[in-house]
């Protein structure tokens, strides 16, 4: 039965609760681009996810630490996540646009190389050496360094440092990479324990292990069991799990399902990098609790708008004289106060407010959809909601 | 006695009252760049000024009209101003950065040309032919067309179409230009009367005449008396006056004073394009009621910050670890919630929120200063406030 694994719950963090399933908007560099944090709260944002890689390079994790941690630094009093930096150090600068479509990228089996691009990252068993996408300067991340950075950033939920693979890697490479990610996870738990004991002036940070294994059922299941078995020198293990890495859209539900089979029911499962309506239903139906994605805000800045009747681009000329809201049923600030004609004008005039208004709308659309999914699980009508929503959207 | 002409009052418009003296922030293209209209209200903005030239080109004044007028179009329920477009058609694209510093620009006496730039505007007795700075397309403004555009835009306070001169024009050219501006003013009043009678579905728009005359006392005084004498076919005249055109900072007070001598006391006087603290005091002391300027928001987007202790640039490295607000005495949203270190980070990371936060602060700084000046007139301590404020700022 579809939706059988869909579940609701509450994640408790030192900065507040997250009712799950929940969509977690992304504020890459400690700001959701073009939107004030109070506005993210008003549109129902429960938590934000920032990127350790970006904040490590700029302003530096020591500065965020001195500021009192990510939440204080960015004026977001609610819960925060940071990712480990693994995805960015291995993907930025080598031409990967997104994990779901790497088909056009040429990849060798021993490391990650994009066609015609200088290799910016080199993986070895101890960690990753990479060049900054900002200035080409050389840096190195290891599991220990990622933990140290994420402890300085101070998010409530942090992720273990993992190796990114792609669907084009050989089975053999996926196996050895998974072994490496497992060994890194062991080191992350140990370093996390050490830092938690050392930094008692800071609130507790929950550590999530990251499950790789690409499209292979046995590898994904093995990864789950492996991470679950890890116990640090102080007796702790992972507080939750992130499902990451290379997966094709059509396999999303199956892969999340394998992981949910294996993972303990009482720990949260975060799916990295999804926000499309069909993916959200599929992920929840197969047991995922939280998801993050830059997409709703990124496409908003390019004038792409989500509505229950599908996506459209507000930059095209037929909206010049359209004095209706983006979506007259939408409860967001943008739809309450502005017309398509005005927003169209702002894009044509290259005004920053265009990004602000469309980001507010798209983030609200995504947050509300996941809120509705949550209600539908409690109300026992998940399947109907999925059928009606997707029939209308696509 | 300095400040002798300083006065307080109330401008009543169909969209609300403006307590004067008042600083009017600029929303060139029907948005104060990077800031929501509600935020402008929160920081004490009483009215906004948009540019007829920009809105005529994009989205088109007909579209703003169909939207219900500027206020509705941009979700700003308060009073609005539009300028006539005269300044922009004659200055944009010909290299004038601002009226106050045209010394480096080569100008012929018969029309306006910048060194090494194609001439984009050609003035004749009937109007101005110009090329769009957006796409080079050819357009023509006459006094009648400017009135028609401004009626479609629907601001509460609109300005007569005038010719822009510079300090480098000869005395002879200033005289003939002033005569032309006077004749255009006569045509503006007549066209404004016609449109007001025709467009009874719209709220009344007040028309301000614009005083030119550069640095010449006799021309400025003559311009004032000339505009004051204009009576349209229907019996109406100007509702107020704008003081515009070429003037040097050191002559600002003197020129505003000449105008205040000549203009009737019961009509408002708007000074176009000032916002520096010393200029605000000088303008008020000599009888100006309202002022607009893009400067507080424009410099904010380049990281220049106003404080009672002067201006500084927050983009420099000494602010990397400065965890204090921009100004710990400031009552703005930015100073209540963010540190210099965070704002510095946002500029380095090229995040839009940097512009938002600094614009909020600079606009609040300027609005509050003019509010304090207003209170000081009522309280009888204008001179003390001026002395203390300027001693600290400069």
Confidence of residue B167 (pLDDT cuts 50, 70, 90): confident
Give A312→chain B minimum CA distance, Å. 20
Helix, strand, or coil (residue B219):
helix
- What one-character DSSP code corresponds to residue B318? G
Q: How many CA atoms lie within 13 A of A7 on its CB side?
A: 17
Q: Can you read off the two tokens belonging to residue B89?
A: 């058609």
| Backbone φ/ψ region at B238: left (φ over 0), alpha (ψ -120 to 50), beta | beta
- Closest C-alpha to B347, from A328, A160, A29, A207: A29
* pLDDT number for residue A118: 57
pTM above 0.80, yes or no: yes
User: Does A67 lie at the interface with B, CB-CB under 8 angstroms?
Assistant: yes
Give B376→chain A minimum CA distance, Å. 34
Helix, strand, or coil (residue B89):
helix
A213 is annotated as contributing to ligand binding: no
A234 is annotated as contributing to ligand binding: no
Residue A291 has pLDDT above 80, yes or no: yes
- What one-character DSSP code corresponds to residue B238? -
Q: Which of B65, B83, B156, B327 is catalytic?
A: B83
Select the residue of A75, A321, A339 nearest B337 (Cβ to Cβ).
A75
* pLDDT number for residue B119: 63
CA–CA gap between residue B281 and residue B292 (Å, rounded): 14
Q: What is the pLDDT of residues B345-391, one digit of tens each?
A: 999 999 999 999 999 999 999 999 999 999 999 999 999 999 999 99
Taking CB atoms and an 8 Å limit, are B352 and A353 in contact across chains? no
Confidence of residue A18 (pLDDT cuts 50, 70, 90): very high
- What one-character DSSP code corresponds to residue A64? H
The mean per-residue pLDDT over the stretch B229-241 comes to 97
Mean of pLDDT over chain B: 92
CA–CA gap between residue B100 and residue B97 (Å, rounded): 9
For chain A, percent of residues with pLDDT exceeding 90? 84
Q: Which of A65, A279, A289, A292 is catalytic?
A: A292
* pLDDT number for residue B100: 32
Q: Which residue of A has its CA nearest to B57?
A: A349
* Contact between B160 and B209 (Cβ < 8 Å): yes
- What one-character DSSP code corresponds to residue B123? E
Helix, strand, or coil (residue B143):
helix
Taking CB atoms and an 8 Å limit, are A344 and B59 in contact across chains? yes
User: Does B40 lie at the interface with A, CB-CB under 8 angstroms?
Assistant: no
Residue B294: count of CB within 10 angstroms of its CB: 18
* pLDDT number for residue B104: 35
Confidence of residue B93 (pLDDT cuts 50, 70, 90): very low
Residue B187 has pLDDT above 70, yes or no: yes
B interface test, pick of A152, A342, A343 with most B CB neighbours within 10 Å: A342
Give B317→chain A minimum CA distance, Å. 11
Backbone angles phi, psi at B118, to 5 degrees: -65, 140
| First vs last C-alpha separation in chain B | 22
Confidence of residue A370 (pLDDT cuts 50, 70, 90): very high
CA–CA gap between residue B374 and residue B23 (Å, rounded): 11
Select the residue of A35, A58, A351 nearest B348 (Cβ to Cβ).
A58
Q: What is the dihedral of CA A87, A92, A95, A97, to 10 degrees?
A: 60
Residue A243 has pLDDT above 60, yes or no: yes
- Closest C-alpha to B23, from B3, B2, B47, B40: B47
User: Does A344 lie at the interface with B, CB-CB under 8 angstroms?
Assistant: yes
* Contact between B154 and B15 (Cβ < 8 Å): no
According to DSSP H, which parts of chain A are helical?
37-42, 52-57, 61-66, 70-73, 86-91, 143-153, 171-198, 217-229, 252-262, 277-285, 295-300, 333-337, 340-348, 352-379, 382-393
Chain B residues touching A323 at Cβ < 8 A:
66-67
| Backbone φ/ψ region at B102: left (φ over 0), alpha (ψ -120 to 50), beta | alpha
User: Does B58 lie at the interface with A, CB-CB under 8 angstroms?
Assistant: yes
Q: What is the pLDDT of residues B306-352, one digit of tens each?
A: 999 999 999 999 999 999 999 999 999 999 999 999 999 999 999 99
CATH 3.20.20.105 residue window(s) in chain A: 9-293
User: Does B59 lie at the interface with A, CB-CB under 8 angstroms?
Assistant: yes
Q: Can you read off the two tokens belonging to residue A220?
A: 């994904």
- Cβ-Cβ contacts under 8 Å for A178 (sequence gap 6 or more): A212, A213, A219, A222, A223
- How, if at all, do strands A128-131 and A121-123 pair? antiparallel
Superfamily for the A9-293 domain: Queuine tRNA-ribosyltransferase-like (3.20.20.105)
Q: Which residue of B has its CA nearest to A76?
A: B337
CA–CA gap between residue A129 and residue A261 (Å, rounded): 35
Confidence of residue B301 (pLDDT cuts 50, 70, 90): very high
Residue A83 annotated in active site: yes
CA–CA gap between residue B100 and residue A160 (Å, rounded): 59
- Closest C-alpha to B7, from B357, B184, B256: B256
Q: Can you read off the two tokens belonging to residue B135?
A: 């796409």
Confidence of residue A335 (pLDDT cuts 50, 70, 90): very high
The mean per-residue pLDDT over the stretch A18-30 comes to 98
User: Does B324 lie at the interface with A, CB-CB under 8 angstroms?
Assistant: no
Residue B223 has pLDDT above 80, yes or no: yes
Taking CB atoms and an 8 Å limit, are A338 and B67 in contact across chains? no
Q: What is the dihedral of CA A302, A304, A306, A312, to 10 degrees?
A: 170
* pLDDT number for residue B120: 73
Taking CB atoms and an 8 Å limit, are B33 and A353 in contact across chains? yes
For chain B, percent of residues with pLDDT exceeding 70? 92
CA–CA gap between residue A64 and residue A164 (Å, rounded): 26
CA–CA gap between residue A143 and residue A42 (Å, rounded): 36
CA–CA gap between residue B382 and residue B4 (Å, rounded): 9
Select the residue of A320, A355, A356 nearest B59 (Cβ to Cβ).
A320
For chain A, percent of residues with pLDDT exceeding 70? 92
Chain A residues touching B59 at Cβ < 8 A:
320, 341, 344-345, 348-349
A93 is annotated as contributing to ligand binding: no
CA distances from A34 to A40, A119, B33, B269 (A): 11, 32, 12, 37
The mean per-residue pLDDT over the stretch A1-24 comes to 91
Chain B residues touching A27 at Cβ < 8 A:
none
Q: What is the pLDDT of residues B113-144, one digit of tens each?
A: 444 455 678 899 999 999 888 898 999 999 99
Q: What is the pLDDT of residues A257-266, one digit of tens each?
A: 999 999 999 9
Taking CB atoms and an 8 Å limit, are A29 and B73 in contact across chains? no
Sign of torsion over alpha carbons A281, A285, A290, A292: negative
Q: What is the dihedral of CA A262, A268, A273, A278, to 10 degrees?
A: 80
- B343-361 b/e with 16+ CB inside 10 Å = b? bbbbbbbebbbbbbbbbbb
* Contact between B17 and B26 (Cβ < 8 Å): no
**What is the DSSP secondary-structure string of A284-333?**
HHTT--EEEESHHHHHHTTTEEEETTEEEETTSGGGTT--S-S-TT--SH
Residue B110 has pLDDT above 70, yes or no: no
Q: Which of B65, B156, B279, B292 is catalytic?
A: B292
According to DSSP H, which parts of B199-339 are helical?
217-229, 252-262, 277-285, 295-300, 333-337
User: Does A33 lie at the interface with B, CB-CB under 8 angstroms?
Assistant: yes
Residue B83 annotated in active site: yes
- Closest C-alpha to A162, from A114, A211, A206: A211
Choice among A8-12, A118-122, B226-230 with the minimum mean pLDDT: A118-122
* Contact between B162 and B84 (Cβ < 8 Å): yes
The mean per-residue pLDDT over the stretch A73-77 comes to 97
Chain B residues touching A352 at Cβ < 8 A:
33-34, 352, 355-356
User: Does B323 lie at the interface with A, CB-CB under 8 angstroms?
Assistant: yes
User: Does B355 lie at the interface with A, CB-CB under 8 angstroms?
Assistant: yes
CA distances from B273 to A340, B226, B280, B294 (A): 32, 23, 11, 7
Confidence of residue B105 (pLDDT cuts 50, 70, 90): very low
Choice among A374-388, B94-108, B141-155 with the minimum mean pLDDT: B94-108
* pLDDT number for residue A90: 79
* Contact between A327 and A335 (Cβ < 8 Å): yes
Backbone angles phi, psi at B373, to 5 degrees: -60, -45
Q: What is the pLDDT of residues A139-159, one digit of tens each?
A: 999 999 999 999 999 999 999
Select the residue of A74, A349, A353 nearest B342 (Cβ to Cβ).
A74
* pLDDT number for residue B168: 85
Give A45→chain B minimum CA distance, Å. 18
User: Does B318 lie at the interface with A, CB-CB under 8 angstroms?
Assistant: no
Confidence of residue B94 (pLDDT cuts 50, 70, 90): very low
Confidence of residue A119 (pLDDT cuts 50, 70, 90): low
Backbone angles phi, psi at B337, to 5 degrees: -125, -10
User: Does A199 lie at the interface with B, CB-CB under 8 angstroms?
Assistant: no
Compute the count of residue pairs across chains A and B with CB atoms less than 8 Å apart: 98
Backbone angles phi, psi at B53, to 5 degrees: -60, -50
Chain B residues touching A34 at Cβ < 8 A:
352-353, 356
Residue A21 has pLDDT above 90, yes or no: yes
* pLDDT number for residue B118: 57
Q: What distance lies between CA B62 and its chain's CA centroid?
A: 23
Confidence of residue B101 (pLDDT cuts 50, 70, 90): very low
CA–CA gap between residue B78 and residue A212 (Å, rounded): 56
Confidence of residue B22 (pLDDT cuts 50, 70, 90): very high
Confidence of residue A48 (pLDDT cuts 50, 70, 90): very high
* Contact between A71 and A15 (Cβ < 8 Å): yes
Taking CB atoms and an 8 Å limit, are B353 and A36 in contact across chains? yes
């Amino acid at each position: 039965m579809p939706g059988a694994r869909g579940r609701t719950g509450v994640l408790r963090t030192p900065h507040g609760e997250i009712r799950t399933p929940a969509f977690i908007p992304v504020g890459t560099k400690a700001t959701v681009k073009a939107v004030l944090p109070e506005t993210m709260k008003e549109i129902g944002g429960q938590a934000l996810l920032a990127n350790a890689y970006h904040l490590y390079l700029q302003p530096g994790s020591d500065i965020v630490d001195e500021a009192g941690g990510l939440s204080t630094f960015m004026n977001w009093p609610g819960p925060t996540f940071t990712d480990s930096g693994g995805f960015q150090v291995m993907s930025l600068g080598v031409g990967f646009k997104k994990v779901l479509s790497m088909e056009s990228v040429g990849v060798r089996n021993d490391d990650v190389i994009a066609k015609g691009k200088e290799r910016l990252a080199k993986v070895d068993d101890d960690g990753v050496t990479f060049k900054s996408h900002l200035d080409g300067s050389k840096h190195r991340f290891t599991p220990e360094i990622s933990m140290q950075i994420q402890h300085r950033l101070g998010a409530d939920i942090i992720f273990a440092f993992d190796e990114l693979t792609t669907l084009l890697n050989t089975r053999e490479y996926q196996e050895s990479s998974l072994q490496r990610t497992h060994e890194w996870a062991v080191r992350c738990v140990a370093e996390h324990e050490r830092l938690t004991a050392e930094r008692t002036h800071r609130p507790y940070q929950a550590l999530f292990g990251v499950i790789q294994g690409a499209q292979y059922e046995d590898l994904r299941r093995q990864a789950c069991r492996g991470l679950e078995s890890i116990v640090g020198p102080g007796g702790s293990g992972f507080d939750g799990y992130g499902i990451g890495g290379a997966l094709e859209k059509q396999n999303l539900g199956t892969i999340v399902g394998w992981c949910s089979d294996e993972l303990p029911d009482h720990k949260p499962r975060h799916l990295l990098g999804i926000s499309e309506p069909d993916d959200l239903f599929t992920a929840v139906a197969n047991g995922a609790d939280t998801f993050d994605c830059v997409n709703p805000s990124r496409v908003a800045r390019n004038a792409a708008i989500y509505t229950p009747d599908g996506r459209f681009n507000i930059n095209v000329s037929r909206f010049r004289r359209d004095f209706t809201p983006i979506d007259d049923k939408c409860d967001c600030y943008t739809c309450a106060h502005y017309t398509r004609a005005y927003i169209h004008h702002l894009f044509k005039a290259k005004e920053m407010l265009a990004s602000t208004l469309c980001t507010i709308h798209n983030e609200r659309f995504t947050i509300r959809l996941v809120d509705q999914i949550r209600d539908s699980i409690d109300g026992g009508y998940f399947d109907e909601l999925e059928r009606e929503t997707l029939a209308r959207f696509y």
